[in-house]
């Protein structure tokens, strides 16, 4: 299986987990020139932008640590563009979560980082 197919499979797995936690998935793999967002969902009043990180084992490091400042900036810019192009105004509460899949375990860190635009 190629890397993109593996990523898509784990994004769907994370999306199913999010739905079990009460999220409502709106979209997978939003792409724009600014970047990409793995999962976009609603959690109560929040529009949530979720970065999914997968590691087969902890030997490759904690997947939560893979969302560095550079990645946060790309996600933030893509989220701003998504809001602009999909009719979400500045009054829409947004949040950035990270879904980590380590082996067979999935967890979500809510509000993992703040908007990290330029």
pTM of the model: 0.91
d(CA 58, CA 62): 6
d(CA 74, CA 37): 9
Q: In what order do the strands lie in the sheet with 24-32?
A: 24-32, 35-43, 46-55, 94-102, 105-113
**Looking at residue 116, what is its pLDDT?**
73
**3-113: in CATH 3.40.1350.10:** yes
**Looking at residue 85, what is its pLDDT?**
96
**Looking at residue 23, what is its pLDDT?**
98
Give the E-state strand segments of the chain in sequence order: 24-32, 35-43, 46-55, 94-102, 105-113
> Per-block average pLDDT, block size 10, for the chain (118 residues)?
76 94 97 95 97 75 77 95 94 94 86 81
**Looking at residue 1, what is its pLDDT?**
62
**Looking at residue 5, what is its pLDDT?**
77
């Amino acid at each position: 299986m190629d890397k993109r197919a593996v990523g898509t499979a784990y994004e769907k797995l994370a999306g199913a987990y999010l739905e079990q936690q009460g999220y409502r998935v709106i979209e997978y793999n939003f792409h724009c020139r600014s970047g990409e967002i793995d999962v976009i969902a609603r959690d109560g009043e929040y529009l949530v932008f979720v970065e999914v990180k997968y590691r087969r084992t902890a030997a490759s490091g904690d997947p939560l640590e893979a969302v560095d400042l550079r990645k946060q900036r790309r996600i933030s810019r893509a989220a701003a563009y998504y809001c602009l192009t999909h009719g979400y105004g500045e009054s829409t509460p947004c949040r950035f979560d990270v879904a980590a899949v380590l082996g067979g375990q999935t967890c979500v860190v809510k509000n993992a980082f703040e908007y990290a635009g330029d």
